Structure 1
Amino acid sequence: MMGTNTATEVVLPGKVEPAGLRLVERVLPPPGAGEALVRVEATAVSFAESAMRRGRYYGQPAFPFVPGYDLVGVVEQVGPGVDGALVGRRVAALTKTGAWATAVLLTAADLVEVPDGIGADEAETLIVNGLTAYQMLHGSARVRAGQTVLVLGASGGVGTILVQLARQAGARVIGTASPRHHEALRALGVEPVDYRDPDLAARIRELAPGGVDAVFDHLGGKSVDQSYRLLNRTGTLVAYSIASSLDDKSSVLLIFMALLSKLAFWNYLPTGRHASFYNVWAGAGKPGSAKREAFRARIRTDLTRVFELQRDGKLTAQIAARYPLSEVAAAVALSESANRTALGKIILIP
C-alpha cells in the first residue's frame, strides 16, 4: 500500500505521442517551511498539455517534467509556518505543471479552499478554465447585460464556462461548435453556429448585423482577423490562446509576438474598438514580491466567486469524461481528437 509521502506521477519525457507518457513512483520529502502536502483528488487535461508534449507551449519547463495545470485535493500535512487547521481541507491550486500526480508538495499560500457542497471533479472544471472565463468576461471585456458576445469553441473547457457566465451577466451569446454539441449549447442559452461553416462570418453577421460587443478567441492566427472584423464599433476582442498553431513548425515565440503586435496595432487605430491578449499568469511577479501577493489575492477572490456560483447552482460543471490517472494516454488522445462527443473538461482521477 502506498505510503503517505509516496506519489505516482505522470512524466512527460520529451516530444512524444500520448502513449509515451510514463507513470513513475517517487517518495516525496516532508513539507518544508510554507509548504503543504496535498493528496490529489482530481486534475484534468487541457490545451496546455497538448502543446507542451509537442514542445509548443511558451515558457514550459525543460523535458522531462510532470504536466498538469491545476488540481483539487485534500491537505494531508503542512510544514513549519503553515496553519495546522489547513489539514483535512479540500483545496484547489493553479500549478501550470506538476498536477498529474497522486500527491504534490505546494506552497500553502497558493491554495484556495473549495467550499463545502462542491465535488472534487466539479471544482476541477473551474480552476484554470473558470478563472480564465471569469477574468476575461468581467475584467478584459467588461461584458454587461444586453450586450452580444461571440465565444469561439463554446463546447470546450473554457467555452462551456464562459457561455454560462455571459448568460449570468445578462448577455446574448453566440457560440461556435461542432453540430453534435448544438443541442447541449442551446440548453445553456447559446445560439450555436457550426465552426466548420465556410461562411462562418456571414452566419454570425446574420445573427448580429451590427457586430458583436465582444469576441473570445482561443485560436489565434488568421482567426483573430475575422474576430476583429465581427466587432461592432466599440467592441472588444479578447484572444487567449494560439491553438491554431499547435501543429505549426514556426517558432512559438515568433507566432505569439506577431499576435501581440497585431493586437497592439489595432489599439493604435482611431476606432472605438479594443483588442487584448489574456494570460492567467499576467502580473504574477516574483516569489515574495508585492506583485505575487496581489496576484494570489486576485486568484483567490475570483476563483472563490466562481466556486460560489457553482455551489449556488448558477454554474453547472461540464465534464466530458473521467479517466483514472493510469489511463492518462487515453484521456490526452480524447482531448486531442477531432471527434469528441461530449462537452467540457476531461478529468483525471488519481
Structure 2
Amino acid sequence: MSETSTTPAGATLTVTEVVVPGKVEPSGLRLVRRTLSAPAAGQALVRVESTAVSAAESAMRRGRYYGQPAFPFVPGYDLVGIVEAVGPGVDATLVGRRVAALTKVGGWATAVLLTAADLVQVPDGIGADEAETMVVNGLTAYQILHRSAKVQAGQTVLVLGASGGVGTILSQLARHAGARVLGTASPRHHDALRAMGVEPIDYRVPDLAARVRELSPGGVDAVFDHLGGESVPVSYGLLNRTGTLVCYSIASKVDETGPILPGFLRLLGKLALWEYLPTRRHASFYNVWAGAGKPGTAKRTAFQERTRTDLTYLFGLLREGVVNAKIAARFPLTEVAAALELNESSARTALGKIILVP
C-alpha cells in the first residue's frame, strides 16, 4: 500500500497498481509497485479511497472495449479519494479534500496523478464508497434519463438490468422524476426492486415483449438498454409512438471472440437509421465521454463543467437520502480477481456496485 497520508509537496511516492498485461482471466491480473512523481503544473496527487469494478473493466481484460489502451495498462474507470498534494497553478485548498474523478483507466491504484480540473469535490457527510457509486454509474444514469431521454413525470420507462450498478441508480432517479419504472432482473432481486418502487420482470421470461405489453399496452416512453446485440430491436419495438431508446453498453458482446468494432458499428448504424426514420421515435447510443474534446480545449472545459454540475447534483440527492447507494460487495484491491469474477458471474447475489478499497 502507499504511504500517501504524509506525502510532502515535491516528494516521490511508491504506489501499488493493478495491471492487466494482456487478454487474461481475472487471475492473470498483476499487482505492481512503482514510483509516482510529484504533481506537475495543473495536477493533483490523489490517494485513492474507493474505486470499483464494472462491465468496462471486464470488457477491457478481454480486449473488447472500444477505445481501450494497448496492453499492458492499469484499469479503473473512476475513483474517489483524498487530495494529498497539488502542482503549480492548482488551488492549494484542495489538499485534504475528498474528490471524485472519471478516469476511464488508471483508477485501480493506491494513488494517482490527475488533472486537477477533472476533480469534483465530494460534499461532507458522504462516504467514499457511497460517492463512488455515483461517479460513472450515477452520471450515466442521470444523463441518459434527463439529457438523452428527457423523461417526465407520468411516463413509463423500462430499465434493462435494473439490479446493476447503473440500473439501481437509474431506477431511483426515474422514480424521483415521477416516472413509472419497469425493470428486468433475476427473481432474487425482485423484492429489493419493489422496495425502490420498481415493477420487476424476470429477465429470463421467454417473451419479454409480451410481458412488457401486458404491463404497458401502449408501449413505454423510454427503454434503457445495456445489452446491445439482439436485445436492441426488441427494445425499440417496445416504444410507444413517441418513445426513446437509449443504448449505453454492449454487455451481451463481451463474452464473444470476434472483433468488437464491426458489431459496434452495426449497432450505431441501426440506431442512426431509426433516428432518421420519419417517425416520432428516437434512438441513440450514450457515451459518458461524448463531447469531451482534447485537454485544454473549450470542449474539454464544457465537458468538465457538465460533469461537475451533474455529479454535484447527484451527490446532493445522495446526501439528502433521495437516492441510496447500492453496494453489492467490497473487496480489497489485492483481491481484484475475486471482485472481477463476482462481477462476471451470473450468480451475483447482491444489488449495485462492486467496490475496490485500496
For structure 2, the residue ranges without an aligned partner over 5 or more in a row are 5-12
The structural deviation recorded for 1:250 is 2.6
Q: Which residue of 1 aligns with 2:122?
A: 114
Q: Distance in 1 between matches of 2:294 and 2:116?
A: 16
1:281 aligns to 2:289 (yes or no):
yes
Question: Please, which of 307, 318, 322 is the counterpart of residue 299 of structure 1?
Answer: 307
Q: Which residue of 1 aligns with 2:219?
A: 211
1:70 aligns to 2:112 (yes or no):
no
Q: Which residue of 1 aligns with 2:154?
A: 146
Q: Distance in 1 between matches of 2:24 and 2:90?
A: 39
2:2 and 2:110 in contact (8 A); partners too: no
2:44 and 2:113 in contact (8 A); partners too: yes
Q: Which range moves more in the overlay, 141-150 or 240-249?
A: 240-249
The structural deviation recorded for 1:27 is 1.1
Equivalenced residue count is: 350
The structural deviation recorded for 1:48 is 0.3
List structure 1 segments (4+ residues) > 3 angstroms apart after TM superposition: 1-4
Q: Distance in 1 between matches of 2:50 and 2:101?
A: 11
Identity value in percent: 78
Question: Please, which of 173, 179, 184 is the counterpart of residue 192 of structure 2?
Answer: 184
1:94 aligns to 2:141 (yes or no):
no
Q: Which residue of 2 aligns with 1:40?
A: 48
Alignment TM-score, normalising by the size of structure 1: 0.99
CA pair 199-299 structure 1, distance change in 2 beyond 3 A: same
Q: Distance in 1 between matches of 2:88 and 2:230?
A: 51
Q: Which residue of 2 aligns with 1:315?
A: 323
CA pair 28-181 structure 1, distance change in 2 beyond 3 A: same
Q: Distance in 2 between matches of 1:249 and 1:52?
A: 13
Residue aligned with 2:84, SS: strand
The structural deviation recorded for 1:2 is 4.3
Q: Distance in 1 between matches of 2:85 and 2:2?
A: 16
Q: Which residue of 1 aligns with 2:343?
A: 335
2:42 and 2:90 in contact (8 A); partners too: yes
2:2 and 2:111 in contact (8 A); partners too: no
Map 1:261-272 → 2, pairs under 5 A: 261-272=269-280
Q: Which residue of 2 aligns with 1:200?
A: 208
Q: Which residue of 2 aligns with 1:156?
A: 164
2:2 and 2:16 in contact (8 A); partners too: no
Alignment TM-score, normalising by the size of structure 2: 0.97
1:238 aligns to 2:246 (yes or no):
yes
Q: Distance in 1 between matches of 2:267 and 2:140?
A: 19
Residue aligned with 1:215, SS: strand
1:168 aligns to 2:170 (yes or no):
no
The structural deviation recorded for 1:157 is 0.2
Q: Distance in 2 between matches of 1:204 and 1:319?
A: 28
Q: Which range moves more in the overlay, 301-310 or 2-11?
A: 2-11
1:18 aligns to 2:48 (yes or no):
no
CA pair 82-235 structure 1, distance change in 2 beyond 3 A: same
- For residues 155-189 of structure 1, the C-alpha deviation after alignment (integer angstroms, 9 at most, x for no partner) is 00000000000000000000000000000000000
Q: Distance in 2 between matches of 1:140 and 1:200?
A: 24
Q: Distance in 2 between matches of 1:323 and 1:55?
A: 24
- For residues 173-219 of structure 1, the C-alpha deviation after alignment (integer angstroms, 9 at most, x for no partner) is 00000000000000000000000111211111100000000000000
Q: Which residue of 2 aligns with 1:251?
A: 259
